Structure 1
């Protein structure tokens, strides 16, 4: 097959048929369960503290434990798919996630809840990479953009819909329902997948890379565990952060050396010889750090500075989701015809423009202005995530897709955790810095001087409002870092293909294991 102009592409190659759409529905259901559950639980932290008599650190383990289980199981995706088949692994993942959800709702202590959350994570960690493998096989390389648009929707909307759903369930029903709601979805997803997915599969009689497993899974888990401690400590310069992160990095480095020397590694790092995949993963790393890291700032600003409830904070984020829904299907389909580069560059530019007004946040910034900025960001996000995911896998041969999908998910999960840790520390540092600076000014000001500071806009009219002004300024300063990181994403994005990506058959031979 030769590369052809976009206009020569046959319609059936770029349009999703009924069969692919049906399969996409299965995968999206699984992705929604896995991704939405992360943000739904994040809004229940105070509820868990009150319900189980624990502190913030204890409640945070309901999120940390889930993340660590994800990190441990994602590297197994490619091997599990080859050994047992994507359908069997997907069905098993749905069962584990649904069972974990039911047990979480029955938990009588924080320790049991954390344990059951980890069981959820073991199932949830396989849903996305296995789902990508299923969709890629069903659609083929010519329609990767369109199918990735389907997968990108829950990835982008999860952080927005989660607080709304979680807040509603907790306020109107009880915390148990943030887990019970997964049961009907899980049952539907299992039956749907059992009926729809192809069961013709001859499992490979290959053995697992035990050394690779013992290096990579605990390495990722320890690294992410260390990063998660930075939010609690408010700094990276802590033994709680540095020790596990350093051990994790050492194990990951050991895996890299092992994987490049062994014939059949757990995760084939030789795929990095593929220029398109390598560029896409670098772009994804920078984008995920900036996007998923800065996303956590919005609900904290709405709740902590503006005094909104959890559900209202989620609703205020809705313009971002609406913007993404506008551009994501269009970018997905046109990426198949025109290549990902143009859309990623345009999307990153829109995100940057949408972040600029947020660098000037105050305690009374208009919600209309914030909503407009979020909508512009959403437009950019819809043009960015899907093309990056598409370019990462579109150039791979079918036998390489399982490893490529696993690499993409490991990259996305790790980068998201780095972004969350980075912006948590930045916000904590800026909050402390702005408060200390403000106190230094006000402590030396006479009554007349304070009146002048109020007139100049440096100090609030009422002393009790001082913290909110300082906090808003701290958020604005943190968004400056988000702007810089988003702008830096342009560098790797510039090297993404700006014409239709030729199928893998036209690619030069790759080093295979």
Structure 2
């Protein structure tokens, strides 16, 4: 095992296993909802809260966890996140009532939030710039595997072993990651100075993100009543207070260093990340509704109709990551966004009251090819000029924007469909009209992407050494 210490690809495998667990739990639980309702004598709302609670906590804590990685060390935060997530998964599988399940899922969300930003941070620090795209391509492919494997693995486990095993399956994976992380991943902390966390910033940012995510997630269920609008206004006020508080703290280790946004590419990629999340999640929700509500597919058949997009994306991501090491990742990203928009438009055009599922294979392949060109180049371009001292904060903000984009996309499409259904439009007309939203958002993202700088070399301070060199530095400094 000592031979693997500091090996960038060994580090990537360990990080990917941890990352995979958290993404799998975003999708695997859906398939077990009926079984959990029956076994725990739970209401649908209670089980739904076990899903949404995980997402809300994850979104609310990503910025804080990313910055904590900068201040306390990304390896330490990653290991802590894996430990919390693994223990919470064990508890999820042992719960006896809905309240216990919700509580355990909230703790799972804490563990996921602690580890997710550290994966990107450690990849950026472990791989030199000329190989980072390939590494991020593998990292992106892991997301594709989780998206494809979640429903299929969940269905198999629920059918053969029972719903509790969708959580128990995380335990051996988490144990392997914990057994290897300290022997494979070096301590890549920056410097030896003592750091202090901005607790006021933590409170303001977490509350703001939680209010926004809760309002968007639950808005449709509560018919966008006064409480939901109150939460949206509260989120806006909290974000404004957070921005003002951070401006005053820029000289004192702020939660979000504003120097991040002095880099045009990082700022642009946050906008692109939001547009991609809104567009792709909006598309998937619309197609799921269309397949099941208009074409009356079963959940399994609808999932299989969507599977080509995830499969193609997963297969292409490592190659497009490697390509972004050789040419400007901006152009790979632009090509991906155009392909995604073309696939979306094609899907809208073939929609009909009795369209066979085979008609969607080609557009889904195009969407998947586009998605496969997005994740690695986006991360590579965003992180290229970021100072290693604040790369955790950069990862936390980028992941938070992506997570909020997913919530916004789902909420916006859901509201649009609901409004048109109230106007007594046909299902096909509603779905086709609603497709204009994700297509427009993706194209706006492509316009934003065009504003990124070309061929920007990382600053000398931002050029990470290889993980092995970093480990030697840490050893010399006693880190």
Contact 1:164 1:313 in 2 (8 A): no
Please tell me whether residue 198 in structure 1 is matched to residue 186 in structure 2: yes
Aligned residue in 1 for 2:93: 105
Q: 1:215 to 1:156 in 2, by over 3 A?
A: same
Contact 1:145 1:336 in 2 (8 A): yes
2 CA distance for matches of 1:421 and 1:231? 7
Please tell me whether residue 495 in structure 1 is matched to residue 451 in structure 2: yes
Aligned residue in 1 for 2:320: 331
Q: Find the partner of 1:398 among 360, 367, 388.
A: 388
Structure 1: unaligned runs, 5 residues or longer:
1-16, 438-469, 508-513
Larger radius of gyration: 1
Within 5 Å, which residues of 2 pair with 1:143-154? 143-154=131-142
What TM-score results when the alignment is normalised by the length of structure 1? 0.83
2 CA distance for matches of 1:232 and 1:46? 19
2 CA distance for matches of 1:158 and 1:241? 32
Q: Find the partner of 1:480 among 436, 460, 463.
A: 436
Q: Find the partner of 1:93 among 78, 81, 92.
A: 81
Please tell me whether residue 188 in structure 1 is matched to residue 143 in structure 2: no
Q: 1:49 to 1:306 in 2, by over 3 A?
A: farther
1 CA distance for matches of 2:435 and 2:158? 30
Please tell me whether residue 130 in structure 1 is matched to residue 118 in structure 2: yes
1 CA distance for matches of 2:377 and 2:61? 26
2 CA distance for matches of 1:383 and 1:135? 19
The 3-state SS of whatever aligns with 2:248 is coil
Q: Find the partner of 2:329 among 328, 337, 340.
A: 340
RMSD across aligned C-alpha pairs, in angstroms?
2.2
Aligned residue in 2 for 1:249: 236
Aligned length: 454
Residue 169 of structure 1 deviates from its aligned partner by 2.3
Within 5 Å, which residues of 2 pair with 1:46-125? 46-125=34-113
- CA-to-aligned-CA distance 1:66-94 (integer Å, 9 cap, x gap): 12211232122243223432222111111
Residue 59 of structure 1 deviates from its aligned partner by 2.1
Contact 1:427 1:478 in 2 (8 A): yes
1 CA distance for matches of 2:348 and 2:295? 16
1 CA distance for matches of 2:450 and 2:36? 45
1 CA distance for matches of 2:147 and 2:82? 21
Residue 173 of structure 1 deviates from its aligned partner by 3.0
The 3-state SS of whatever aligns with 2:195 is coil
What TM-score results when the alignment is normalised by the length of structure 2? 0.89
- CA-to-aligned-CA distance 1:251-293 (integer Å, 9 cap, x gap): 1211111111112211213311111111111111111111123
Structure 2: unaligned runs, 5 residues or longer:
463-479
Residue 352 of structure 1 deviates from its aligned partner by 1.1
Aligned residue in 2 for 1:460: none
Moved more, 223-232 or 44-53: 44-53
- CA-to-aligned-CA distance 1:129-186 (integer Å, 9 cap, x gap): 1111111110022322112112212334433332222233223332112111111111
Moved more, 157-166 or 140-149: 157-166
The 3-state SS of whatever aligns with 1:174 is coil
Residue 301 of structure 1 deviates from its aligned partner by 3.3
Residue 18 of structure 1 deviates from its aligned partner by 9.3
2 CA distance for matches of 1:472 and 1:160? 26
The 3-state SS of whatever aligns with 1:391 is helix
1 CA distance for matches of 2:192 and 2:401? 27
